[in-house]
Amino acid sequence: MSAKLIETHRKDAQVYNGPVQCKQKLDELMKEINMPSILFPLVDIQEFGYNKSTGFVWLTLSKPVQHKFTKMKKLVSYDNHVTAFVEPGRLKNVKGVKSKEVLIWFTLSDFYIEDPNSGKVIVANPSGLTFPINISDFEEEDKNAQK
C-alpha cells in the first residue's frame, strides 16, 4: 500500500538515493518543519523523497529497523517504507512506524508540536490516544547516537 502511495506522489518530488544523502536531506527537512530529526534515527535510508506541493515524504529502508530510545525506554519499529505528510511542526498520517508498550505494538500516526514553548512533541496513534514526549529526551538520544 505504501509503495502505491509513493508512486502517486513521485512525479513532482525531489528524490535522493544513498544513505548519506538521504539522511542529510531528512535532517534538513525535519529542521525546516521544526521537528526533532532524531524521531527517525535511521542510517540505512536507500531513498528519500519529498513532494513539496503535497507535503508528502517517504523513506525507503533496505530492511525494517528497530531502535531503542534509551532515555524514554521505548522500542520503535520502522518498516521498509515510512511515509507521512509534513507541515510546520507536524508529521501526519504517518505509516510504517510502531512503538512497543509492554508486550503490544502500537501504530504511531502523528507527531506534532502543539506549543513550541512547551518543549514537548505530541505522539498520537490512529485511535486518538496521545502522549507527550520531552524534546530534550530526543536531544539526549541524539548526543548518545553521535558518540
- Which residue is listed with cell 498520537? 124
Question: Would you say 84 and 108 are in contact if contact means Cβ atoms under 8 Å apart?
Answer: no
Q: Calculate the dihedral angle through the C-alpha atoms of 77, 78, 84, 89, rounding to the nearest 10 degrees.
A: 60
| pLDDT(147) > 70 | no
Q: How far is CA 86 from CA 10, 51, 66, 110, in A?
A: 15, 10, 23, 10
**pLDDT of 18:** 96
Q: What is the mean pLDDT of residues 44-68?
A: 96
| pLDDT(72) > 50 | yes
- Using a 10 angstrom Cβ sphere, with 0-12 exposed, 13-18 middle and 19 or more buried, the burial of residue 56 is buried
pTM: 0.89
| pLDDT(146) > 70 | no
| pLDDT(128) > 80 | yes
- When pLDDT is cut at 50, 70 and 90, the band that residue 141 belongs to is low
Q: Between 59 and 101, name the one with better pLDDT.
A: 59
Q: What is the mean pLDDT of residues 2-16?
A: 89
Q: What is the mean pLDDT of residues 112-129?
A: 92
Q: Which three cell numbers stand for residue 33?
A: 518543519
pLDDT in tens, 86-102: 999 999 999 999 999 88
Q: Between 141 and 102, name the one with better pLDDT.
A: 102
Q: Which three cell numbers stand for residue 88?
A: 510546520
**pLDDT of 1:** 65
Helix (H) or strand (E) holding 145: helix 135-145
- Using a 10 angstrom Cβ sphere, with 0-12 exposed, 13-18 middle and 19 or more buried, the burial of residue 66 is exposed
Q: For strand 45-51 and strand 104-107, is the pairing parallel, antiparallel, or unpaired?
A: unpaired
Helix (H, G, I), strand (E, B) or coil at 87: strand
The residue count for the chain: 147
Q: Between 140 and 3, name the one with better pLDDT.
A: 3
